[in-house]
Amino acid sequence: MRALGPLDRGVAWVIAAVMAVMVAVVSIQVAYRYGLNGSFDWADEISRLAFVWTVFLAVPLGLKQGAHIGIELVVQRLPENARGALYRLMSALAVVLMLTVAWQAAVLVTQQWDEMLPTIPLSSALFMVPVAWSAVHSAVHLAVLAGTGRVPRPSAASGE
C-alpha cells in the first residue's frame, strides 16, 4: 500500500522529534540536579510521556520491517505453502487483536481525559493516545501483510 510510505516516514520524523525532546529534558534535568542541586518537577513526567510515545509509535514500523522477535522453531519445519498460509492467518488474527486494543485504548482515553497529570496541566489520557494510534497503524500494516502474504525479514540496516 503506497499510502503507508509517507505515513511511516512522517511517524519516523515524529519519533525522532519526541526522542530529541526526551533526551533534552533528561539531560537538562541531570545537569540541573547535579550541577545546580535543583530539580524540575515536570521533567520526569515529560520524559516518561515522551518515552511512551516513542515506543508505541515505533511498533508499526517494526512490524513493517520484520524487526519484532518471532519464534520460528516450528514454523521453519513447515512446507512453504503451509508457512505462508499460517503467516496470513496469524496476521489476520493480529489485525483483530490490534483493533481490539485500539478500541479499548480509545475507551480509556475518553474516560481519563479529564484526569490531569500531577505536575503539568496535561491529561493523563495522553499516555493512552499513542497506544490507540499504534494499534490502528499496526492493524493496517498487518492487514497489508495478511493480504500479500509477504513475510518481512529484518534488513542489515535494522541491525540484523
Amino acid 160: pLDDT: 43
Average pLDDT over residues 45-53: 95
Neighbour tally for 66: CB within 10 Å: 16
**Interatomic CA distance for residues 56 and 90, integer angstroms:** 21
- The more confidently predicted of residues 105 and 66 is 105
Q: What is the DSSP letter of 115?
A: P
**Interatomic CA distance for residues 46 and 27, integer angstroms:** 12
Amino acid 139: pLDDT: 97
Q: Phi first, then psi: what are they for 116, rounded to 5°?
A: -95, 150
Average pLDDT over residues 8-34: 94
The neighbouring-strand residues paired with 100 are none
Q: What pTM, to 2 d.p., does this model score?
A: 0.84
Confidence at 69, pLDDT banded by 50, 70, 90: confident
Q: What percent of the chain shows pLDDT beyond 70?
A: 94
Confidence at 86, pLDDT banded by 50, 70, 90: confident
Is pLDDT of 67 > 80?
no
Confidence at 158, pLDDT banded by 50, 70, 90: very low
How far does CA 55 lie from the centroid of its chain?
A: 5
* Domains of the chain by residue range: 4-158
